[in-house]
């Protein structure tokens, strides 16, 4: 089963400001933002867009030995 992509994250890290990750609804918007951030900033590590997907929760039950 393929889980749907709900957004694209752009991970960014700055030594003094910390790590943050804005989300974008489309891959094109995320790529445009990440490329622009690389071009206009200095000292900021910017990753390629990463898809964010919905997940399914499963309850796991463990049996105890008596």
- pLDDT tens readout for residues 2-58: 788 999 999 999 998 899 999 999 999 999 999 999 999 888 999 999 999 988 777
The CA distance from 37 to 46, in Å, is 7
The model's pTM is 0.74
Amino acid 59: pLDDT: 81
DSSP-derived secondary structure letter, 61: -
Residue 20: φ, ψ to 5°: -150, 160
């Amino acid at each position: 089963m393929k889980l749907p992509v709900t957004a694209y994250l752009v991970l960014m890290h700055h030594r003094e400001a910390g790590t943050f990750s804005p989300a974008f609804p489309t891959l094109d918007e995320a790529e445009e933002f990440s490329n622009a951030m690389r071009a206009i900033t200095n000292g900021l590590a910017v990753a390629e867009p990463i898809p964010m997907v919905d997940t399914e929760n499963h309850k796991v039950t463990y049996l105890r030995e008596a």
